Chain A
């Protein structure tokens, strides 16, 4: 079981790196979709001894949302806004990859210091979760196009999800469902907003929103 688990985690970390290094939006969205699908298997693998209807529903729900619905929504938004790639991020792609390495390093160091319970199944799970959270955060900060920022948000949320699933053995599934609903609404709203902002302003560079602020006086 641990092999599968580690494999999944490594897959997620690798998708994270791809996200950091790729400029093409469609590819990035597919990466996030893959991450979402991989995430769906995680609760089943982690709690394989107590598989119940609840767990399966949660997995399926999360896979359907993160693996299918969100990517479709985002792809549609990208298509409508007629944007294919992130052209000029605040931080370049090479620099982003280097940052990713730094994040890996920080994640492993942090997880070695965090006081954790015994129930953690794999040594990779906490660093993986931290890596995804921090990478998502970095994507939000460093990318200009709103869709990339939404992707960053999703990756960050995935990281939190992994952490939650790993830490809490009997996490009330109501909370998980609540989190899923939150993410759903957030992505939905962002998708619509992106569409509308695009229609109004002909571009979705969040950078240019700064023009709306008061001028320095």
Chain B
């Protein structure tokens, strides 16, 4: 624990130093990123100790704030969430030093390292805090520091709007959490997590608490329809920040949910149904909206929503297993969900960095303007391909393993259960299938349109590869994706202490399930390796057959048309059109068409946009109603100081009278 505390001190102190030297970008970025990485390495040691050594470390420090105490404890669950936080932070810090150099003339570029390091520190504190007040404090610092990172380019209006949007959303979530924590503290008499665990009070205890938790943590995590800030904030933020926010910060919402839910002995079934329902809807809607996007970062943001849905499906299956006393189901569900937390951090971090590298190299993220970029940016292209394969859940990448575990759990349950659990497991399995298929289509579109073919505009032509500072993190993350995928049984066994903690089972009692599952995973990996070998063999065969023959480039079959141009390639929208039109009742894609007319048409245009349906149908009407309500109170808020003093005095007097009544 002492190493962790030192790490926090390093983050804070180097962050402040970066702020001091913000006039000189080189100095502040070296201090900021260096401190971030050093701190992460120290804290990583502590986290690994908690997971591998199953070592409980705690630290309590009395403070003078009312309520609560500075109580930290590192257990396997905290360690498991710290792992992606710290790992991805190292990569994002490396990536950021080169990425942010484009803004080196601005003092805010150096200053952004302050918020970056504070964000890492607060995220780490969130997952080890064992006191409600401390947790909320760290949570709030996390939200604010990420807000300042999102609004880095605040000169642009859409960035300010996105930041504002994020700030409102995150505070709405925190308000729910505050209510939740106060209610839980009221029923136990303490803000300490230990007391809550002892008394068995968790959001599962009542539907009100559960909804507060789902809304509060779900706003951060991005459950549909609370996800509205993600597609706005991620495109606005610098890429390494979006990587960090999408990869790990939204996971703190999942962490909070799991942590609080783990206080209950046996979860009620309705809670699991809600979780599975949220998972299915977030997953399917997230990936559907992703399909309709043109902006790569927006597309990736919607995929974050999808992946949060997958994680939530896993957790739902896990809790269902706990509630019907089926440890096998619980272990498989939780292992899928929790492993996906790590996996999503790996591949989504990689993909956002790939997007950053694209923006750096081509100057645009509109996929309709790109094309053929892989020839100019081979490193970015190939690592992006690995990330795309991982997020689409293709073997041998890591995304496949975690989704496979959830499938395994759901199918195992479907074979043995009946009644309502069966229905929900079928829902989980089928929606996971749909999500997987749509994600594959979406990344076929994204990768194909951006990296293959030939450039559609000068952005694609002028592309150049990024430097090693940006390549190295992408390569490491790609290697991480492959490693988790190929060493799946090992990853599953590392997860074991976390699982025994969350499922509250004795390690020995579930021995059989663990060995069985890791054997299954071992065979899966063997099969995958067999396929890889086959693919390698075919590739070699092709090379051998083609050796000695000349290869030349020519146009594709062009129906006799004389002058084919790159603009005649499939665009992203046209590629996705069959699917988007299939789901058009949900997507409500807006089209602006001016069709060609006459024999020799000069002008014709076609434009689609898929604004978020939930913003239009739920969030905006809600906020309009809130604004209308508050505008009625404007007479109260007029700016006359005398009257404000009167308000204060009258309140005090009335309270006094009330008390003496």
Contacts and interface: CB of A to CB of B under 8 A. Distances in A.
Given A134-B653, A137-B649, A141-B646, A209 B660 contact: no
B639 interface: yes
Contacts of B649: 137, 141
B517 to A, nearest CB: 60
Contact of A110 (B643, B646, B656): B656
Given A137-B649, A141-B646, A141-B649, A110 B660 contact: yes
Interface string A58-89: 00000000000000000000000000000000
B642 A110 contact: no
Contacts of B656: 110
A77 to B, nearest CB: 20
Contacts of B640: 207, 210
Interface string B640-661: 1111011001000100110011
Most chain B beta-carbon neighbours within 10 Å: one of A106, A114, A141: A141
Given A134-B653, A141-B649, A113 B642 contact: no
A110 B661 CA distance: 9
B646 to A, nearest CB: 4
A86 to B, nearest CB: 13
A141 B641 CA distance: 8
- Is the interface on chain B under 10, 10 to 19, 20 to 34, or 35 or more residues? 10 to 19
Contacts of B645: 137, 140-141
Contacts of A22: none
Contacts of A106: 653, 657
A114 B657 CA distance: 10
Dominant SS among interface residues on chain A: helix
A110 B659 CA distance: 10
A213 interface: yes
A217 to B, nearest CB: 12
A206 interface: yes
A179 B643 CA distance: 26
- Is the interface on chain A under 10, 10 to 19, 20 to 34, or 35 or more residues? 10 to 19
Contact of B660 (A90, A114, A141): A114
Contact of A141 (B639, B642, B657): B642
B589 to A, nearest CB: 35
B660 A210 contact: no
A141 B33 CA distance: 53
Interface in B53-105: none
A93 to B, nearest CB: 16
Nearest to A211: B639
A46 to B, nearest CB: 24
A96 interface: no
Given A134-B653, A137-B649, A141-B649, A206 B660 contact: no
A28 interface: no
Given A134-B653, A137-B649, A142 B642 contact: yes
Nearest to B660: A113
A110 B657 CA distance: 7
Contacts of B646: 141
Nearest to A212: B639
B354 to A, nearest CB: 41
Nearest to A141: B646
B657 A210 contact: no
Contacts of A110: 656-657, 660
B650 to A, nearest CB: 9
Contacts of A206: 641-642
A207 B640 CA distance: 7
Interface in B613-653: 639-643, 645-646, 649, 653
Contacts of B661: 113
A209 B660 CA distance: 38
Contacts of B660: 110, 113-114
B409 to A, nearest CB: 55
A23 to B, nearest CB: 17
A137 B653 CA distance: 11
Contacts of B642: 90, 140-142, 144, 206-207
Contacts of B653: 106, 134
A69 B164 CA distance: 52
Contacts of A207: 640, 642
Nearest to B643: A141
Nearest to B640: A210
Given A134-B653, A141-B649, 13 more contacts: A90-B642, A106-B653, A113-B660, A113-B661, A137-B645, A140-B642, A140-B645, A141-B642, A141-B643, A141-B646, A144-B642, A210-B639, A210-B641
Nearest 6 pairs of A and B residues by beta carbon: A113-B660, A141-B646, A213-B639, A137-B649, A141-B642, A210-B639
28 contacts: A90-B642, A106-B653, A106-B657, A110-B657, A110-B660, A113-B660, A113-B661, A114-B660, A134-B653, A137-B645, A137-B649, A140-B642, A141-B642, A141-B643, A141-B645, A141-B646, A141-B649, A142-B642, A144-B642, A206-B641, A206-B642, A207-B640, A207-B642, A209-B641, A210-B639, A210-B640, A210-B641, A213-B639
